[in-house]
Structure 1
C-alpha cells in the first residue's frame, strides 16, 4: 500500500512538472511583460502626476476645493461645444477633476479654480501607454484575451509549483524555505526560484485570478446574474435607465442631485458623475461610502434628471454580487484595498512574478539542451544500427 502511494505521488509530480514547464514556456514572455507593466500600474496615479507636473501641480493647493456644480458650470461657460460624458475627482492625482469627452479625450481641471490645465488622449501618455500594453499587448481585442488566458496559466503555475516545491523526503523540507548562497550559480538560481515561488504564491495567485476576472468581466457579470436568479437581459437594463421626460421639464442642478445621493448613503461623498446622453437619459452618480477597505465602498445611483428619483442603484438586491466585484476585484488586483502596505506588496509580487519566469527559464534551458543532445545521440545510434543491419544483409546475399 505504501509503495503504491509513493508510485502515485511520483507519477503525479511527474505530470505536474510537465504542466508547470510547458505552461511557463507558453505564457512566460507575456507574463513577464504583464507583470513588469503591472508593477508600474500599482502606483499609476502618483506616477502620472510626477510625469505631468504641468497638468497636476496646482499653486492653489491647500485652498477649498470647488464643488462639482461650480466646476461643471464654469466648463459649460468656457467650452459650450464640449460633448461631456462624465467627470470624476482623482483623489490621488492631487484631487484634480478629470472630465471625459465623447470623442475619447480627457480634460484635466484645476479643482481650486476650475481652469483646464490640459486636454489629452490618455493612451498617448506614458502611463496610458503602459496600461494599454498591460491590458492588450497593443493587439486589441485579441491581446486582451491573450493576457487574461496567460493570467489563468499563471495561477496554474503557482498551484503546480507548490506541488513541485514539496521535497521527496520530509527531512529536506527545511532546505526549501531558504536560499543556499554558498552554492554554485545554478543552485542559487534554483533555490531563488523555489523560495520566491513559495512565499509569494498566495499573492501572485490572487493577482492572477483577479486579472482573469477583469479580462472576462462580461462573462463574470453574466454568471453573477445567474447566481442572483436574474435574466441576462437585466445587464442591459441597468445601463438603459430612462428619465420621465415631460414637456417643459427642467433638469435638476448638480447640487440638488448631490444632496439626494448623499442622503442615500450615510457619510457618502460624491466622487463622479456620468451625464445623461439625451432628454430621457439618467445621471449616474458614484458615491464613496466609508468601508473596511482603504478604497472605500463605491455605490452607484441612477437618478431621473428631472425629479431626482432613484431609478436604479447598486444597493438593490440583484446587484449585490456585482457591487462586491466592483469594490474588491480591482483593489485586490492592484493591491489598493489595504493602503500603502498592500500596494507595496503587490508591487513586489509583480516583480517577483517576472523573476520567477526568468529563473525558471534558466533552470529549463540546460535541461532542454541536454534532452536535445540525448535525442540526437539516440537518433545517431539508431541510424548506425540500421546501417549495420543493411550492410550485414547485403553481405549475406553476396555469400548466397
Structure 2
C-alpha cells in the first residue's frame, strides 16, 4: 500500500507528465539525433575535411572575398568567419539579400569554395531548431520549452520518490526488468528501472539545457560555484567610445583580428571571428583549444574601426564558475567526456524520450483496467439472505 505522501507525489507525477510529455518527447528525441551531428556530418559531408598543408592558411579577407563573390552587395564586415583546425575546412557565414542564412565551406589553404549550404534546408539545422524552439517563435518557445523541461526536472525528483522501495526485498526488482513477464509489466519496468538508471545524467542534460534558455539560472549556479560574484576581470565588458575619433585600420579588420588571435592563442585549433556590422559594438573573437569543443576558450574584443585590441580574457585567468559556464554546451551534448560521453548522452536522451510513452501506457492501462468477473462463490456470499 502506498502512503498518503506517495499517493500525492504520484498524482503530481502523473499530471505533470501528461502536461509536459509531448514537449519532453520531442526535445529528447531531437537531442539524441543531434548528439552525433558532427560525427555524422563528417561521414556525409566530404567538404568538411581538407588535406593538411605546410603553407599558411589564408587570411579572413581572402576567404570572405571568395565566399561572397556569388553574392554581390554583402559586406565582409557582416560575416562570421571560422577556422576549425589544420585538417578541416574554414567557413564563412552570412545572411544573403533574401534573408537566407548561408554557410560557405572553403579550403583554408587555397581559398577554394568547397560547398555552399542554405541552412534553412540543412537537416541538422532543422533538428536543432525543433530541439530548441519546436519551430515556434523564439519568444514563445522560451517559455514552452523552458516550462516543459522545468516540469521534467520536477518529474525526475518525484519519479525517484515513487521508485524508492519501501522494503528491502523490493529493491532487487526495482533494479531489474522482468523480461519474461506480461507486456504491461515489462512496460512498467522499462519506465521505472530505465528511468532510475538515467535519472542523474538526464538531470545534467535538462539543467544544462535550461541554462541556455534562462541565463539567470546559469548565473545563479556560477555564483554558487564561485562562492560569490564573478570577478570583473573574468568578463569581457569593452565599450566603444564613439565620441573619440579612431583611425581606420591599415588592413582589413578581420585580418588584424585573426593575426592578433593567432599570436596570443598560438595553440588554438578553432578561431571564430564575429562581424563588425556597427561602429558602436566591439568585434568579438573566440579561440578554442580543440575544434568543435567549446570548453577551453580565450576571448577577445577589438575596436570596430581601428582594430585595436580592447580586452583579452585567456582561459587560464578564469575562475571555477566561469570555467563551468564555458563547459555548459560540451556537458549538454556529452562531449566533455569524449566519444564515450556522447554515447551516454545519446542513450540517456532515448530513455528520456521513452518515458512519456511508457508512462502514458501505464496511465492508460490503469484508467481502462477491466474488472475481473466475480466467481459464483463470491456472488453467493454477496447475495441477500
Tell me if 1:89 matches 2:88. no
**Alpha-carbon distance change, 137 to 368 in structure 1, aligned in 2, over 3 angstroms:** same
- In the TM superposition, what is the alpha-carbon distance from 1:318 to its structure 2 partner? 11
Name the residue aligned to 2:362.
363
Asked if the contact 1:98/1:108 (under 8 Å) is kept, the reply is yes
- In the TM superposition, what is the alpha-carbon distance from 1:282 to its structure 2 partner? 3.4
Asked if the contact 2:82/2:272 (under 8 Å) is kept, the reply is yes
Asked if the contact 2:295/2:330 (under 8 Å) is kept, the reply is no
Alignment of 1:259-278 (within 5 A): 259-265=259-265, 267-278=267-278
- In the TM superposition, what is the alpha-carbon distance from 1:19 to its structure 2 partner? 1.5
Name the residue aligned to 1:397.
none
Name the residue aligned to 1:48.
41
Name the residue aligned to 2:57.
67
Alignment partners' CA distance in 2, 1:114 and 1:248: 26
Name the residue aligned to 2:114.
117
Name the residue aligned to 1:380.
none
TM-score scaled by structure 2?
0.78
Name which of 38, 57, 65 aligns with 1:76: 65
Name the residue aligned to 2:91.
98
Deviates more, 1:175-184 or 1:335-344: 175-184
1:318-354 deviation per Cα after TM superposition (whole angstroms, max 9, x unaligned): 9857743542211111111111000011010111111
**Alpha-carbon distance change, 173 to 270 in structure 1, aligned in 2, over 3 angstroms:** closer
Alignment partners' CA distance in 2, 1:316 and 1:198: 36
Asked if the contact 1:242/1:282 (under 8 Å) is kept, the reply is no
- In the TM superposition, what is the alpha-carbon distance from 1:290 to its structure 2 partner? 7.0
Alignment of 1:272-311 (within 5 A): 272-278=272-278, 282-289=282-289, 295-304=294-303, 309-311=308-310
Alignment of 1:235-274 (within 5 A): 238=237, 240-241=239-240, 245-247=245-247, 249-251=249-251, 256-265=256-265, 267-274=267-274
Bigger relative CO (Cα 8 Å, ≥ 6 apart)? 2
Asked if the contact 2:222/2:322 (under 8 Å) is kept, the reply is no
Alignment partners' CA distance in 1, 2:147 and 2:45: 33
- In the TM superposition, what is the alpha-carbon distance from 1:316 to its structure 2 partner? 9.7
**Alpha-carbon distance change, 130 to 239 in structure 1, aligned in 2, over 3 angstroms:** farther
Tell me if 1:148 matches 2:146. yes
Alignment partners' CA distance in 1, 2:43 and 2:130: 20
Alignment partners' CA distance in 2, 1:138 and 1:168: 43
Name the residue aligned to 2:130.
133
**Alpha-carbon distance change, 308 to 271 in structure 1, aligned in 2, over 3 angstroms:** same
1:253-311 deviation per Cα after TM superposition (whole angstroms, max 9, x unaligned): 656544533454473345111132245653322112379x9654112111236766432
Alignment partners' CA distance in 2, 1:37 and 1:331: 17
**Alpha-carbon distance change, 312 to 321 in structure 1, aligned in 2, over 3 angstroms:** farther
In structure 2, the residue corresponding to 1:277 is in which secondary structure?
Answer: coil
Asked if the contact 1:242/1:304 (under 8 Å) is kept, the reply is no
Name the residue aligned to 1:36.
29
Gaps of 5+ in 2: 372-385
- In the TM superposition, what is the alpha-carbon distance from 1:199 to its structure 2 partner? 0.9
**Alpha-carbon distance change, 214 to 180 in structure 1, aligned in 2, over 3 angstroms:** same
Alignment of 1:147-166 (within 5 A): 147-166=145-164
Name the residue aligned to 2:375.
none
Asked if the contact 2:104/2:116 (under 8 Å) is kept, the reply is yes
Tell me if 1:210 matches 2:208. yes
1:80-125 deviation per Cα after TM superposition (whole angstroms, max 9, x unaligned): 6432321113469x62222121445223222243222343331321
**Alpha-carbon distance change, 219 to 130 in structure 1, aligned in 2, over 3 angstroms:** same
Deviates more, 1:21-30 or 1:137-146: 137-146
Tell me if 1:27 matches 2:20. yes
